[in-house]
Structure 1
Amino acid sequence: MVTPPDAAIVLRPMGERAVLAEVADLDGVVRLHAALAANPPAGIDDLVPAARTVLVGFDPARIAAPAVRAWIRTVAEAPAADPRPGPLVEVPVRYDGADLDDTAALLGIPVSDLVARHAAAEWAVAFTGFSPGFAYLVSEHWTFDVPRLDQPRTRVPAGAVGLAAGFTGAYPRETPGGWRVIASTDAVLFDPDAAHPALLPPRARVRFVPERPRVEVPIGPSAPRNATRDAADSSPMPGTPARDDGRPALRILDAGATTTVQDRGRPHRAALGVARSGALDGGALRTANRLVGNDDGAAGLEILLGGFRARAETDTWVCVTGALVEVRVGRRAVDLYRPLLVPAGSELSIGVARVGLRTYLAVRGGVEGAAVMGSRAHDSLAGLGPAPLRAGDLVRAGVPASAIPPVDVFPWSVPPSTIDVALAEGPRADWFAPRALATLLAEPWTVSADLDRVGVRLDGPVLERIRPGELPSEGMTPGALQVPPHGRPVVLLADGPVTGGYPVIAVATEAGTSALAQARPGDRVRFRRA
C-alpha cells in the first residue's frame, strides 16, 4: 500500500544542530521516521521519533541547515510505502503490579479483563525515550486512556510494566516514574554490550505473554524473539569495572567530590533513548588532549569542584584545564593549560576550584578502559559507562596519537562569574507570551543549587505561557531551555533525557552549553541572540 504525501508537516528550529519535524499524529511519525531512516544524507546524526515529531539531528560542519530542511520536505512529500513491520518480540510477564487492582477499578472493568486485554493486544514500539531502552508501545486493540499517578514514585523497579495515556511500557532500570504499574518482567530490556542493545527497538512488534516455563525458540528471520533468552546470559549491567587495559599511569588517592571518565560521548544513539553524554565542557577536554598529543576524542577525567590527588605510577605527562584551580606536582605549583610531567612516585594535586566548577585532566595516551556503546563516558542519568572513580583506583593510559606539540601552552582566561550564553531559536516559542522571550534576553538569571550533569535550573522572573496543557513528548538536545509549569528555564546538559514534555523556548549554542558546564550556584547568566 502507498500512502499519499502529508502536506501538514511543520518544520521547527531546534537550535543550531537539529530540526523538529512535526506531523499530524503518531502514525505520521512512524511513516516519516521510516522514510527518513531509509537513506539519510551524510551529516545526519540522529533521528528521534516521538509522539508527534521526529527530531533530526545533524552536524553543521557536514551539512547545512537549509539542506536538512529541504531533505525532510522532499522525503515527507513523496508517496511512501507502508513501513515494514519490525520483528516480533515476546516479553514474559507476571501480572502482579502494585497498581493492577486500582487501574482496573479506574477503568471500570474486572482485573481479569484488564489482564486479558493487555496480553491479547499486539503492541508496536512507536518511539523510545525517558531512559535507554524505554519503549513507548501502542496498539490499535487498546482503547483505554489511563491517567498517570497523581504523585509519581521516586523509585520504580527495573522490569515494571506500566500504563499511561494510551501507552504501555516496561522500565529497563530503576528510575522515578508516574506510570501505573500492572505487571513485571525479568527480561533484559537494555544491554549496552549487546550487538542490538534495546530489546524493543522502534517499530518492533511486542506481545506480553503471561509467564510460562521457558522454551527454546528456533532461530530464523520469522521466529519471534524470546526475551527470556537474555535473562540468563546477559552481560553485566553498566557501571562494571573497566578492564586492565593500557599502562599504569595514576593511582587515585582522593577523587574529590566526583571524578568521572569522559570523552566525546555516544552520538547517533538517541533513537534508543541513549543521551550523548561526554565531557560537559568539551572545549576544555579537547584542549587538554591536544596539549599532551592525544586525539580530540581521547578519554580524560572530569573533576567536580577539585580536591583531587593522585600518585604517578610511571613518568606520566598530563594537562589540566577548565576551572580555576591550584595545581601542584609534589610541592611545586604548576600552570594550567600546559603539558606537565609527573615523575613516577610524585603526587599530582588539584585544589578546590575558585572560579568555575569542572576541571579536566588529560593523560598522555588517553584514559583506557572498557567502552560501553563506543564510549568510555560515564552517563549519570542512565548509569552507562565506568563508575565514578574512588580512592585506590588505577588510571591506565593508552598509546599517544602524536608528539607533544611544540607550542606547549594555550591562551586562556578565568571563567567569568557572569556567563554569556548565545541562544538559537527553539521550537515552542509560540507557547509563550511575546514578552517572555524579551524577558529571557533582558533579565539576568541566577544559577540555582539544582544543577548536575543532566541540567541547570535558573532562578529569575517567570516566563509566562499562553498555551495551556501538556506537550506530547518530543526529542530534546543538549542546550534546550525547557520551561516547566513554574515558568523558570532548565537548560539540559549532556546527560539530559533524549525526549521531554516541557516546551523549549530556545536552545543554547554548543559554546554556550559548554560555558554553562562551569556555572556554580549563585553565578549569573545572561542570554543573547546567537
Structure 2
Amino acid sequence: MSSHLRVAAAGPSSTVQDRGRVGYQRYGVSVAGAVDPLLHAAANALVGNPAGEGAVEFTMAGDSLTVEGGPVRVAVAGDAALTIDDEPAPAWTSLRLRDGQTLRIGALREGTRGYWAVEGGLALAPVLGSVATHARTGLGGLAGGALKTGDRLPLRLDDAADRGELTLDPSLLPARGADIRVVLGPQDDAFTPAGIAAFLEESFTVSHEADRMGYRLNGPVIEHARGFNITSDGIPLGAVQVPGTGQPIVLLADRQTTGGYPKIACVIGPDVGALAQKRPGERLRFRAVATAEAQALHARHRDVLAGLPGLLRPAGAFALYGSERLLGFNLIGGVVTGWD
C-alpha cells in the first residue's frame, strides 16, 4: 500500500499550496499559492524538497496527521507547539514518523500562517500546472478546498530515508517590522495630496475581514481626487485598492484577476508575506520606496530563498558545543549581506 497522511483533525483553514498557478490571470484564473513564500520554502528545505513543492499552509492552528504506511519525514515552519503521540516535538526541525504515529500541530504563538511539508511532496495531480488550492473556484489541492478531518493525503515517497534530522534557527531569517514597503501607483494620481499623505504618514489596523484573498484595513480616510471608479484592469499581488469608503484593501494570493477601484500602491514582493502574517487588530504603516530599490530588495529576497538549505544544521548539533565554541560559529553569514 502506498503511504498516506490521514488528517486525524483538520485545522480551521489548511490548504495545499505551492508557488501558484502562474500565467493564467488573462483567462480569469487566480494565482493562489503560498501567501508567505519564505516560510513555505523553509518547510520544504527542512525535508529536502525544492522551494516551490506543494506543502500545507495552515491558519492560526495546524492539523493532526496520522501516518499510514511510512515511515514519513515532515517539518513545520512556524511558531507552533508540536507533539508526536502526545510527546513534545520541535518545530523548525525535520521529524521522521513511523506507521501509526500522530503528529499534532497546535496553535501559532505568533503570526497567522505556518506551513508543513513532507519529504518527496504530496502525490496530487496538478491543475493548470499547479497543486495550489483556490477554494473560491474549487481548483487544485485536495478536491479544491481546505483539508477536512478524515482526508487522506497521498505521498510520493513510501519510505523516508533513515538519516539524521535537520533544523533551522528562525532567528536567522530576515527580520520583519511594522513598516510595509510599497511602490506608489499605478493609479496614485487618482488621489489627492492629502490622501497620499494619509496613506504614507498614518498607521492602519488589520480588520477582521482578512483572509487569503485580501486584507481590509481600518484607518484614516484616503481621499480620492476624482471618484473611486476606474476601467477595470489587472490586479497584481500586493495591490492596494481604495474603494469609496477610503479604507485600503491589500490584495493577496487568492485575489481576483481584475478590479475597478484605483490602486494607490503595490506592496513589494518581499513584504507581502510579512503583511499576511499580521493578525486582526495589529497595526502597520506603509513606506514608499522607489522602483529601483524595490527591484533590488526583490533580488535579495530571491537570494535568501535560494540560500535556505545553507542555513540548515544537524538537529541538536550545537548542543554538543560549549558557549566559547559556539561564539566562534558564523551563524548569520550570508543573511545580513542579503537583506536590508
> What secondary structure sits across from 1:274 in the alignment?
coil
> What secondary structure sits across from 1:427 in the alignment?
coil
Number of the residue aligned with 2:329: none
Q: Does 1:275 align with 2:30?
A: yes
Inter-partner Cα distance in structure 2 for 1:360 and 1:387 = 16
Change (3 A) 1:416 1:349: farther
Q: Does 1:388 align with 2:143?
A: no
Inter-partner Cα distance in structure 2 for 1:485 and 1:499 = 17
Cα-Cα RMSD: 2.4
Q: Deviation digits for residues 116-169 of structure 1, max 9, x if unmatched?
A: xxxxxxxxxxxxxxxxxxxxxxxxxxxxxxxxxxxxxxxxxxxxxxxxxxxxxx
> What secondary structure sits across from 2:117 in the alignment?
strand
Q: Deviation digits for residues 398-425 of structure 1, max 9, x if unmatched?
A: 149x989989222314999963311112
Q: Does 1:451 align with 2:210?
A: yes
Number of the residue aligned with 1:516: 275
Number of the residue aligned with 1:527: 286
Number of the residue aligned with 1:489: 248
- What runs of 5+ residues in structure 2 fail to find an aligned partner? 290-340
Shift of 1:336: 1.8
Q: Does 1:318 align with 2:74?
A: yes
Change (3 A) 1:249 1:415: farther
> What secondary structure sits across from 2:113 in the alignment?
strand
Shift of 1:436: 2.1
Q: Deviation digits for residues 318-375 of structure 1, max 9, x if unmatched?
A: 11013x2111122222222221112221110111122111110101111121221111
> Structure 1: which amino acid aligns with 2:77?
T
**Aligned partner of 2:223 among 464, 469, 482:** 464
Query: More relative contact order in 1 or in 2 (CA 8 Å, sep 6+)?
Result: 2
Inter-partner Cα distance in structure 1 for 2:259 and 2:163 = 43
Inter-partner Cα distance in structure 2 for 1:468 and 1:491 = 19
State the identity as a percent. 39
**Number of residue equivalences:** 283
Shift of 1:307: 4.5
Inter-partner Cα distance in structure 1 for 2:135 and 2:271 = 21
Q: Deviation digits for residues 465-522 of structure 1, max 9, x if unmatched?
A: 1112520101111100000100011000011011100000010011211112212111
User: Normalized against structure 1, the TM-score is what?
Assistant: 0.51
**Aligned partner of 1:431 among 168, 186, 190:** 190
**Aligned partner of 2:48 among 293, 316, 322:** 293
Larger radius of gyration: 1
Q: Does 1:305 align with 2:63?
A: no
Number of the residue aligned with 1:252: 7
Q: Does 1:507 align with 2:246?
A: no
Inter-partner Cα distance in structure 1 for 2:23 and 2:188 = 27
Q: Is the 8 A contact 2:228 2:244 kept in 1?
A: no
> What secondary structure sits across from 2:42 in the alignment?
helix
Change (3 A) 1:529 1:411: farther
Shift of 1:251: 0.8
Q: Does 1:334 align with 2:89?
A: yes
Q: Is the 8 A contact 2:6 2:65 kept in 1?
A: yes
Q: Is the 8 A contact 2:20 2:130 kept in 1?
A: yes
> What secondary structure sits across from 1:478 in the alignment?
coil
